[in-house]
């Protein structure tokens, strides 16, 4: 599905775009095997792909990397995503870090296409699958997330700052204090959060 718009941009940027072919995947995997998964611009060049390093990195992380799980997000995983999202907000990479084999991109897509809708319907008291009653993005991005955060948080300049701390259900959670890289507190939160309800 190489689209016209992408072709035009391809010409403009002198690099190929659009979906990856099996041949490209193979070349990329070989290049990574030889050179390692770093220096992506260099890998892109050495693999002979007309791709940007960023694209190669994304392809590797989301599809080619070993132990990637594809599709079929279980109820258990879904529950965990919802709980972690409530806890962390749109910190997809952190959420993905708690779900082995899942990528931040996949979780972000799953959230935007499934879970946000589900939660929206629950809050509105609308049947979850009724067509024509879709939340924003689709109407989806009726209000962009960052704007929503700003509105909720007041006048904070950036969305990043605004979610340093937030209400994680039972109380105000100081994210910055706990530290983003120490995941123990997340586990602790999830373990202690008995009786937790997504839609409360």
The binder of DNA chosen from 38, 67, 172, 184 (CB under 7 A): 38
Q: How far is CA 183 from the centre of its chain?
A: 18
Is 154 a binding residue for DNA by CB under 7 A? The answer is: no
Distance (Å, rounded) from C-alpha 18 to C-alpha 59? Answer: 11
- Of the candidates 169, 172, 147, the residue with the CA atom closest to the CA atom of residue 158: 147
CA atoms within 13 A on the CB side of 5: 0
Tell me if 149 sits within 8 A of 162, measured CB to CB.
Answer: yes
Piece in contact with DNA (CB under 7 A), picked from 59-67, 78-86, 120-128, 189-197: 59-67
Is 91 a binding residue for DNA by CB under 7 A? The answer is: yes
Q: How many residues bind DNA (CB under 7 A)?
A: 56
Distance (Å, rounded) from C-alpha 168 to C-alpha 95? Answer: 15
The binder of DNA chosen from 117, 121, 150, 186 (CB under 7 A): 117
Burial 88-105 (b: 16+ CB within 10 A, else e): bbbbbebbbebbeebbbe
Is 20 a binding residue for DNA by CB under 7 A? The answer is: yes
Neighbours of 58 (CB within 10 A): 16
- Rank residues 41 and 151 by Cβ distance to DNA and give the closer one: 41
Piece in contact with DNA (CB under 7 A), picked from 74-82, 104-112, 165-173, 190-198: 104-112
Q: How far is CA 20 from the centre of its chain?
A: 20
- Least Cβ distance, residue 157 to DNA (angstroms): 9
The binder of DNA chosen from 18, 29, 156, 164 (CB under 7 A): 18
Residues engaged in binding DNA (CB under 7 A): 1, 3-6, 9, 13, 16-20, 38-42, 51-55, 57-59, 62-63, 71, 90-94, 104-106, 108-110, 112-114, 117, 131-132, 134, 137-139, 141, 144-146, 158-160
């Amino acid at each position: 599905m190489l689209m016209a718009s992408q072709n035009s941009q391809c010409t403009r940027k002198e690099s190929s775009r659009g979906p990856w072919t099996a041949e490209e995947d193979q070349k990329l995997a070989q290049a990574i095997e030889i050179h390692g998964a770093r220096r992506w611009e260099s890998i892109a060049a050495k693999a002979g792909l007309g791709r940007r390093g960023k694209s190669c990195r994304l392809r590797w992380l989301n599809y080619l990397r070993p132990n990637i799980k594809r599709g079929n997000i279980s109820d258990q995983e879904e529950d965990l995503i919802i709980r972690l999202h409530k806890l962390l907000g749109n910190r997809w990479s952190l959420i993905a870090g708690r779900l082995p084999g899942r990528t931040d991109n996949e979780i972000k897509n799953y959230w935007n296409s499934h879970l946000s809708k589900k939660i929206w319907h629950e809050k509105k008291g609308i049947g979850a699958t009724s067509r024509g009653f879709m939340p924003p993005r689709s109407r989806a991005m009726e209000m962009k997330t960052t704007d929503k955060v700003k509105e909720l948080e007041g006048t904070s300049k950036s969305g990043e700052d605004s979610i340093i701390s937030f209400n994680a259900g039972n109380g105000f959670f100081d994210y910055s204090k706990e530290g983003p890289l120490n995941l123990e507190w997340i586990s602790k939160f999830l373990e202690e959060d008995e009786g937790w309800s997504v839609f409360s």
